[in-house]
Amino acid sequence: MYFVYVVKNIATNDLYIGYTNNLERRLSEHRKKFPKDVVMYYEAYQFEKDARNREQHLKYYGSAWRALKKRINA
């Protein structure tokens, strides 16, 4: 499985979008640098291509990102 995720840094209120094939490992890597990171949202995909496309869509198309932020109340 591949995951697209949104992490929020509680200290700075910043949001980060990424994708990975191991969500637990990736979040532990985030928390080493930023201990106050919290997972706000994630989506699971069977294929890497789909996860990568969704991540790019969220990063580069403002309307998709705004719609997701509205859904997760970020």
Question: Per-residue pLDDT tens for 19-51?
Answer: 999 999 998 888 888 888 888 999 999 999 999
Arithmetic mean of pLDDT over the chain = 90
Q: Check: CB of residue 42 under 8 Å from CB of residue 54.
A: no
Domain that holds residue 51: 2-72
Map residue 22 onto helix, strand or coil: coil
What total number of domains does the chain contain?
1
Question: Looking at residues 3-23, what average pLDDT do you find?
Answer: 92
Give the whole-angstrom CA distance, residue 30 versus residue 36.
Answer: 9
Q: How many CB atoms lie within 10 A of CB 71?
A: 9
